[in-house]
Amino acid sequence: MGLKVNILANYLGTAAVALAPLLALPWYLAALGPRQFGLVAFVTMLQALMGTVDAGTNQALVREFAARLHATDGGRREAGLVLWGFERLYWVSAAAAGAIVMLLSKPIASQWLVLDALPLSTGIAAVCGAGALFAAQFPGSVYRSLLVGAQAQVQLNAVMLAGALVRHVGGVWVMHLWPGVTTYLAWQVGAALLETLVRRRLAWHTTGIHRRGLQWDSARMRALWKAVASLTGAAWLGALTVQMDRVILSKMVSVQQFGYYTIAASLAIGALQLVYPLIQAVTPRAVRLRDDPAGLRRLCMRLTGMFAAGVGVGALLFAAVGERLLTFWVRDAAATVIHPVLSVLLVGTALNALYNVGYLHWLVVDKVDRLLKVNLAALLLSIAIIPPLVLRFGIVGAAFGWLAINLIGFVVSLEWLKLGQSGRQPLVRRGARTER
């Protein structure tokens, strides 16, 4: 598929994944009530937090799959071997993490969550559901990496679109018949497992390799893991930092207040989803430009211009109709709490969108040390400033923490502006890479 087709498919799939839960949210909130919805918000946060173990690995695997799938038939077999090995690691990790969360469900519900009037049993059920949901959907990430690397993004996004409809159109219907957090989680687990299995089938079909003829190769897996481990660590810190405002807030405020914050955060993260389809589509091209600093700089400039234009249009729309739409969507009482939080979060989201250009540059030229330092600094800053900000300003304070860490990342990421300047050496020299 061409780049434009992949970009369009990515936007359609991402829009479905981002919008479906947002459109279903008023029905979920009405069916569950603010407190039980707060538990759903905690489950969502816990999913994102556990999903950070995959941060960086999926990006590195996209690069590895792309390098192999567009080579010879031997390269396709290499891609099949990589998929065969990593899918086992993902499934085992998913099952282990899910089991650990279930075992810790009682202390998490009793000692971390502020349940208000909700019974402890409801909190325990929610945490157990979070573990089961993670076990069902986490392995789908490795299949997504294969499909992105193979540029089979139309097929991937068709699966994502169908999955979003099953999860949330079906979820609204189930909530109408049997309202309750346990019913909600049971439906989400079943839908997630179904989507993971469909991705698995599609990924193996795309490789054109039969799984039966493959065997575990420990030496190959160790060598590949060394190639992706450093990026995984750096990206893990970044993903953990992105979740830190909600992690801290979930301990400091009631589940009802946490639910309101999560609604605002879901909208802000939903807006950020508009960035990823474009990044995902241009990553293979950026990898091919890694030895051409001037060409990579031009690509980064184009991305920055697109993101800046999108941020400007979004800011104007939010200023004009944001508060009215929010009031219509979640009603007056909730909108009064959510709107100021969302306003601050969206500023941080805009900075994060622009930061992604520099992040792509670091990823392409293997400047993992830069990623590691920036993400570590942002994580430590968030831990230091968010608690006092929450104590001083309430849930809006957590939003200011999100803004601050994204401002740091954006400023440091502007290093790509130096790419291709006269007299400078290429960032990655030809022949410097070891073929894998």
pLDDT at site 225: 65
Mean pLDDT of the chain: 82
Residue 419: what pLDDT?
A: 66
Confidence of residue 96 (pLDDT cuts 50, 70, 90): very high
- Band of pLDDT at residue 99, cut at 50, 70 and 90: very high
Give the mean model confidence (pLDDT) for residues 165-189. 92
Q: Find the mean pLDDT for residues 137-162.
A: 87
CA distances from 43 to 37, 109, 162, 412 (A): 10, 11, 22, 33
Span 66-79, average pLDDT? 70
| Cα of 251 vs its chain's centroid, Å | 22
298: CB partners within 8 A, 6+ apart = 420
CA distances from 146 to 57, 87, 202, 206, 334 (A): 12, 11, 10, 8, 41
Q: Give me the amino acid identity at 297.
A: R
Of 191-195, 265-269, 365-369, the range with the highest mean pLDDT is 191-195
Tokens of 420: 């291709």
- The per-residue pLDDT for range 30-56, each reduced to its tens digit, is 888 888 888 888 888 888 777 777 766
Q: Which residues, at least 6 apart from 86, have a Cβ–Cβ distance to it below 8 Å?
A: 61, 142
User: What number is the average pLDDT over the span 314-339?
Assistant: 85
Indicate the length of the chain as a whole number: 436
Q: What percentage of residues in the chain have a pLDDT greater than 70? A: 86
Residue 132's CB is within 10 A of a number of other CB atoms, namely 20
Asked if the model's pLDDT at residue 190 lies above 60, the reply is: yes
Query: Is the model's pLDDT at 355 over the cut of 80?
Result: yes
pLDDT value at position 49? Answer: 77
For residues 150-157, average pLDDT: 82
Question: What is the rounded radius of gyration, in angstroms, for the C-alpha atoms of the chain?
Answer: 22
pLDDT reported for residue 94: 92
Looking at residues 190-200, what average pLDDT do you find? 94
pLDDT of res. 427: 43
Q: Which two tokens stand for residue 243?
A: 């979740």
Predicted confidence at residue 2, as pLDDT, reads 59
Model pLDDT, residue 228: 64
Question: Is residue 387 pLDDT above 60, yes or no?
Answer: yes
Contact 344, 386 (CB under 8 A): no
* Rounded Cα gap, residues 259 and 242, in angstroms: 17
End-to-end CA distance of the chain: 26
Lowest mean pLDDT among 74-78, 189-193, 233-237: 233-237
Residues 398, 344 contacting (CB under 8 angstroms): no
